[in-house]
Structure formats: C-alpha cells, structure tokens
Structure 1
Amino acid sequence: MFKAWRKQRNRKRLKDEAYAFLFEPYDGDEVVVFDTETTGLDPKTDEIVSIGAVKVKGNRILTSETFEVYLKTSRPIPAESIEVHGIRPCDLEYALSPPEGIEKFLHFIGPRPLAGYYLEFDVAMINRYIKPWLGVELPNPKTEVSGLYFDKKNFGIPQGNIDLRFDTILANLGVPPMGRHNAVNDAIMTAMIFIKLNNTIKLKTGERT
C-alpha cells in the first residue's frame, strides 16, 4: 500500500504528460536489466557515461533487443574511472546529449519492472537527470539481484555471512564472465544471474561464498 501511495505521489509531480507511459500498469512478462558506467560513485555530482540494458522474457534474454547509449559529459572523465570502464574521451565523439540518451532509455524501458546489481546506484544516477527535467523519479518496480542471491543463499541460516561481490555471485552460480567490462556486458551477465536465481529455490550454504 505504501508503494502505491509513493507511486501516486510521484505521478502527480510529472511535468510532461508525454512520459505518463512510465506510470501505466504493466501486465506483460518482460523485465529490463540495466547498468550504467559513470564518471564516479556519487549520484549527486557524477555523470553517466553509458547505459546498457537488455530485456528478459521468462527464461530468455532478448539479445536482439539490447540497448546501449553513450552520453556526453560536462567535464573530463577522471582517469580512475577510465581504468574501471575503459571509456575514453575519444569514445564519446559521437555520444548523445544526456536528454537525448535518457529519453531513448525511458522509451526502451517503458513501465516494465527493472532489475540490476547495485541497482540503487544506477537508479539514483538516472533520477539525477530525470528529476529536474520531468519532476519524477523512476516509478518502475525494481529487483536487486544481490538481494535475491542473499535470500536464496541465506535460506534457513539467518544472519549468514555472505559474499555479495559480483564476481563471487557469477562464480557461485556458474555464470560465465563476458570479458570486457562495459554496461551492456554487465547487464547481460546480471540478466543471467536474475534468470538463474528465479529458477532456484535455495543455494548451497556449505561453501564460503
């Protein structure tokens, strides 16, 4: 009930009715898994460099409907961030302006539920752009895959000490790493985690993972 009230309050703040579709009820069976690469880890001051997303339908990753966009930044990308995601200033030569890129992303996700790893951060980064522009935050239902993993791993052993690092989750679930770290590859790997966890009742607890 509280979630419904928050969504209704959020809806009243929408400045542009062209984006009312974000608040429409969704009765489909697709989930959008997404990831962002950024200039840093502070949603209040850092900027999005790229967004990668993929749709999941049941137990299938719709790789034909992969989304990727690069965004122009207002200042140089810090060297330490380039070391993480490998996106250099020259890679942004044909990047879109943030409004253009975010608009494409919003139309890609529509009212579908969202899933991701460290999703709170990615959503906060998107909200940094859309709140001043549209007056709202992303209203879509959200699932944190590390939370799913924790619940499956912690089944029957409350207070368990569980390693929630991305690479650990991949290894424990037998999901192959995809090589180069970027938003699209991270979204696809997270989608594989999401599907596997949705088809698992509980995970083994004997290992130190």
Structure 2
Amino acid sequence: MFKKLINNLKKRNLKDNNFEYLFEEPAKDEYVCLDCETTGLNPKKDEILSIGAVIIKKNKILMRQTLNIFVKPSRNINSESIKIHQIRPVDLQNAVEPKDAIFELLKFIGNRPIVGYYIKFDIAIISKYTKEYIGVSLPNHQIEVSSIYFKTKKRSSEYEFVDLKFDTIMKELEIPELGKHDALNDAIMTSMIFLKLKDKAPANSTFYTG
C-alpha cells in the first residue's frame, strides 16, 4: 500500500507520459536481471560505462532477449578505474549517449521487477539519469539475490556469519562462471542465482526489497 502511494507521487513528476508504463502492474513471473559497470562506487558522482540485462520468464532465462550497451562517459576514464571495471577507451569507441542508453534500457525493462546483486547501487546510479531525463527514479520493484541467499542458509544462531560474496554464492550453488566485469555476463550469472534460489526461499518471505 505504502509502495503504491509512493509510486503515485512519483508518477506526478513524470516529464513524459510515454513512460507511464513503468508504473503499471507487472506481468506475473517475469523479471529483468541487470548489472552496470561504472567509473566508481559513488552513484552521485560516478557514471555508467555499460549496462547488461536479460529477461527471465517463469523459470527460463531468455537468452534471445538481452541488452548489452556501452555508454559514453562525459570525461576520459582513468587507468585506476580501468583496473576495476576493465573497460578500455577502445571499448567505448562506439558507445551511445547516456540519454539514448537509458531510454533503451527503460524500454527493455518495462514494468518488470528488477533482479540483481547489490541491486540498490545499480538502481541508484540509473535513477540519477532517469531523474534528469524523465523526472523520476526507477519505480520498479527490486529483488536482491544476496538477501534471498541469506534467507535460505541454515544457521545455528541468528548471529552466525553468512558469506554473501558473489563468488561464494556462485560456488555454493555450483553456477558456472561466464567471465567477470562484463555487465551482460554478470546479469546472466545473477539470473542463474535467482532461479536456483527462488524456490528455496521460505514460503513466508518476499522477494521485493524496494
């Protein structure tokens, strides 16, 4: 109820009514898993360099419905950040303008819930762009796979440590590694994590975190 009220308030700030579909009720058992590679870890000042996304329908990852975009940064990327995201200037030669990339992403996502690993960061940095271009932050429900993983782990006490590192979760669930620091590969691997976990989560738990 509260989430619906917040979305109704957000909807009033839309600059373009063509994006009203973002606030519609999503189809059942459809999700989008996404990942962003960025210049850093501060959503307020850093920029998106690439976006990878894939659609999940029921229990299938739709490999024919993927999105993989390189985004043109406003300034040259430095060597230190390249060590983290491994995106070189040559990779960005055919990158698209941020506005075009975000509009393509919004069309791809639609009103589906968004699945990710530490997805709040991705949502925060994408929302920085959407607030500028269409007046609102992303209203889609968010599903955090590390939270689902945590809920499925059996612990001897509520204080027992649970390792939530991406590599640990992948190894525990026996998911093949496709190659790191590639937004689309990360989105696909995260999709596999989600599909392995969603039927293991406690019956009274909810996937949505935002």
TM-score, normalisation: structure 2: 0.92
- Identify the residue that residue 171 of structure 2 maps to in structure 1: 171
Aligned counterparts of 2:177 and 2:170: Cα–Cα separation in 1: 7
Give 2:167's aligned amino acid.
Answer: D
Give 2:148's aligned amino acid.
Answer: L
- Identify the residue that residue 16 of structure 2 maps to in structure 1: 16
- Identify the residue that residue 47 of structure 1 maps to in structure 2: 47
Provide the secondary structure at the position in 2 that maps to 1:158.
coil
- Identify the residue that residue 60 of structure 1 maps to in structure 2: 60
- Identify the residue that residue 197 of structure 1 maps to in structure 2: 197
Please tell me the root mean square deviation across aligned C-alpha atoms, in Å: 1.4
Moved more, 10-19 or 46-55: 10-19
TM-score, normalisation: structure 1: 0.92
- Identify the residue that residue 183 of structure 2 maps to in structure 1: 183
Aligned counterparts of 2:156 and 2:58: Cα–Cα separation in 1: 27
Aligned counterparts of 1:98 and 1:92: Cα–Cα separation in 2: 12
Aligned counterparts of 2:123 and 2:182: Cα–Cα separation in 1: 17
Task: Give unmatched runs, 5+ long, in structure 2.
Answer: 203-210
Task: Give unmatched runs, 5+ long, in structure 1.
Answer: 203-209
Provide the secondary structure at the position in 2 that maps to 1:7.
helix
Aligned counterparts of 1:52 and 1:34: Cα–Cα separation in 2: 6
Give 1:196's aligned amino acid.
Answer: K
Query: Structure 1 residues 76 and 196 mapped into 2: Cα distance closer, same or farther (>3 Å)?
Result: same
- Identify the residue that residue 205 of structure 1 maps to in structure 2: none
1:33 aligns to 2:7 (yes or no): no
Aligned counterparts of 1:180 and 1:130: Cα–Cα separation in 2: 27
Aligned counterparts of 1:50 and 1:41: Cα–Cα separation in 2: 14
Superposition deviation, residue 201 in structure 1:
4.6
After the TM superposition, which residues 44-123 of structure 1 pair with which residues of structure 2 at under 5 Å, given as runs? Answer: 44-123=44-123
Provide the secondary structure at the position in 2 that maps to 1:61.
strand
- Identify the residue that residue 2 of structure 1 maps to in structure 2: 2
Give 1:73's aligned amino acid.
Answer: P
Could you tell me the percent identity over the aligned residues? 48
Give 1:112's aligned amino acid.
Answer: R
Provide the secondary structure at the position in 2 that maps to 1:126.
helix
Superposition deviation, residue 139 in structure 1:
0.6
Give 1:117's aligned amino acid.
Answer: Y
**Aligned residue pair count:** 202
The question of whether the paired residues in 2 share the 8 Å contact of 1:53 and 1:184 is answered with yes
Provide the secondary structure at the position in 2 that maps to 1:32.
strand
Provide the secondary structure at the position in 1 that maps to 2:31.
strand
Superposition deviation, residue 57 in structure 1:
1.0
Aligned counterparts of 1:119 and 1:86: Cα–Cα separation in 2: 20
